[in-house]
């Protein structure tokens, strides 16, 4: 079983914090779908049993594609893979692409989950981030999705923005009022090759301090948990039954095939990624790089992703995949963290309590092989 990720690396406007691989050359967009299908045909063998559990269109901005083009990719995937177990097909969308007519056409496709990059409901924050929508437009986009019949909706928000901390409560209130099934909440990070990185280097932006970060993290955690969301991964909250199936598969170490310029793929043996530029890609040139993965790589990857989830490390799974000696090693290293309440052991799972997720890096690194 595996998941399929399709990367749409185009954005109309570049957000000030973003260092994902994306380009603004919209003239290339019409050539993209035929190449995505061509690459998928070439790479289908990467998934040994050809069985998928979810499909995810990420970006960039997948909602720049006409819904019918998205459906073309899904239809080809159904021919190439066994999709009988696929329950979730997600598209990431920008609120201002979700006009009435677009949403109606999207509702006629197989897409059954929409993940909206809202980030904030505060217009000053949105302007600071160089987003192309307002808070009210984001609320209207969610309302249109509901009216069109979408029930599986996720929204992204960002906190930890210096100078705007007092506006976070209003964003949380408006996020909760939308009553969507899933919320992803990320702390703003300053990456070098971004507008914010430049502002920081010039001394025109100072990131928030550790104490403020923790306060805002807990404000988000407490507000969402009080509203009935389960904090099931460091950045993810879900109402009952609304956990992201695609992302949860990543965290369980399930194999995935990534299609598109910049997309990564992961199997038992290796990790590969397509290094083509969007221009090369749209001309049908697919270039790859990769690395072999050892058992230690797999174990470390599992420790890292599992400890960021509410369930934590399944010691039974570690025993069956990596041997009893690995379980003993993990338990030995975990002892001092358990004493400090930074780790808990219950029902053969080793996990970090959700309110300590933000401080989890030191714990995770200490358990690496």
The backbone torsions φ and ψ at residue 165, rounded to the nearest 5 degrees and listed phi first, read -55, -35
Q: How far is the CB of 312 from ligand SF4 (least distance, A)?
A: 30
Size of the site for ligand SF4 (CB under 6 A): 11
What's the closest the beta carbon of residue 92 comes to ligand SF4, in angstroms? 8
- Separation of alpha carbons 334 and 340, rounded Å: 10
CB of 282 to ligand SF4, least distance (A): 17
Rounded distance between C-alpha atoms, residue 227 and residue 205, angstroms: 33
- Binding flag, residue 133, ligand SF4 (CB under 6 A): no
Nearer to ligand SF4 by C-beta: 52 or 263? 263
Q: What residues numbered 312-341 form the site for ligand SF4, per CB under 6 A?
A: none
Q: Which is nearer to ligand SF4, 94 or 247 (CB)?
A: 94
How far apart CA 5 and CA 250 sit, in angstroms, is: 11
End-to-end Cα spacing for the chain: 26
Closer to ligand SF4 by Cβ: residue 118 or 257 = 118
To the nearest whole angstrom, how small is the minimum distance from the Cβ of residue 60 to ligand SF4?
5
Nearest-approach distance from CB 121 to ligand SF4, in angstroms: 16
Can you tell me the distance from the alpha carbon of 363 to that of 347, in angstroms, rounded to the nearest whole number? Answer: 20
58 or 312: CB nearest ligand SF4: 58
> Could you identify the residue written with the tokens 């992302």?
247
Pair type for strands 313-314 and 288-292: unpaired
Give 84 or 193: the residue with its C-beta nearer to ligand SF4: 193
- The C-alpha atoms of residue 65 and residue 72 are separated, in whole angstroms, by 11
Where are the alpha helices (H) located in 44-167, listed in sequence order? 67-80, 100-107, 123-128, 135-147
Site for ligand SF4 in 84-103 (CB under 6 A): 94
CB of 6 to ligand SF4, least distance (A): 14
Q: Which is nearer to ligand SF4, 111 or 313 (CB)?
A: 111
Q: Among all residues, whose Cβ is closest to ligand SF4?
A: 18
Angstrom CA distances, 62 to 148, 187, 196, 261, stand at: 19, 23, 24, 13
Site map 101..130 versus ligand SF4, x via CB under 6 A: ----------------x-------------
Residues 6-65 that bind ligand SF4 (CB under 6 A): 11, 14-15, 18, 20, 22, 59-61
Minimum gap (Å) between residue 194 Cβ and ligand SF4: 9
Q: Which residue lies nearer to ligand SF4 by CB, 191 or 210?
A: 191
Residue ranges in 191-230 that form contacts with ligand SF4 under rule CB under 6 A: none
Task: Give 20 or 146: the residue with its C-beta nearer to ligand SF4.
Answer: 20
Q: How far is CA 147 from CA 34, 101, 109, 138, in A?
A: 32, 12, 16, 14
Shortest reach from residue 20's CB to ligand SF4, in Å: 5
Residues near ligand SF4, by CB under 6 A:
11, 14-15, 18, 20, 22, 59-61, 94, 117
């Amino acid at each position: 079983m595996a998941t399929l990720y399709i990367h749409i690396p185009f954005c109309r406007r570049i957000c000030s914090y973003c260092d994902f691989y994306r380009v603004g050359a919209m003239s290339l967009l019409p050539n993209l779908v035929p190449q995505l299908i061509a690459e998928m045909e070439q790479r289908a063998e990467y998934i040994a049993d050809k069985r998928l559990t979810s499909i995810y269109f990420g970006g960039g901005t997948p909602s720049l594609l006409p819904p019918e083009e998205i459906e073309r990719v899904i239809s080809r995937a159904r021919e190439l893979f066994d999709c009988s177990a696929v329950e979730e097909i997600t598209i990431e969308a920008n609120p201002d692409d979700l006009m009435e007519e677009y949403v109606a056409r999207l509702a006629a496709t197989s897409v059954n989950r929409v993940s909206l990059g809202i980030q904030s409901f505060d217009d000053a924050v949105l302007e600071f981030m160089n987003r192309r929508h307002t808070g009210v437009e984001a609320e209207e986009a969610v309302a249109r999705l509901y009216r069109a019949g979408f029930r599986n909706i996720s929204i992204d928000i960002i906190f930890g923005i210096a100078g705007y901390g007092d506006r976070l409560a209003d964003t949380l209130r408006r996020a909760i009022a939308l009553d969507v099934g899933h919320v992803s909440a990320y702390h703003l990070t300053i990456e070098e090759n971004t507008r914010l990185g430049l502002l920081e280097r010039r001394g025109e932006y100072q990131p928030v301090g550790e104490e403020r970060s923790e306060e805002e993290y807990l404000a988000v955690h407490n507000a969402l948990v009080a509203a009935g969301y389960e904090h099931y991964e460091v950045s993810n909250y879900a109402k009952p039954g609304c956990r992201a199936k695609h992302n949860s598969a990543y965290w369980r170490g399930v194999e995935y095939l990534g299609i598109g310029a910049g997309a990564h793929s992961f199997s038992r043996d290796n990790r590969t990624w397509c290094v083509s530029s969007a221009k090369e890609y749209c001309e049908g040139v697919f270039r790859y790089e990769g690395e072999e993965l050892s058992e230690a790589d797999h174990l470390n990857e599992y420790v890292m992703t599992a400890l960021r989830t509410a369930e934590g490390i399944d010691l039974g799974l570690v025993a069956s995949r990596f041997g009893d000696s690995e379980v003993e090693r993990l338990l030995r290293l975990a002892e001092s963290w358990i004493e400090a309440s930074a780790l808990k052991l219950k029902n053969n799972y080793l996990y970090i309590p959700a309110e300590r997720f933000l401080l989890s890096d030191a714990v995770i690194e200490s358990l690496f092989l």
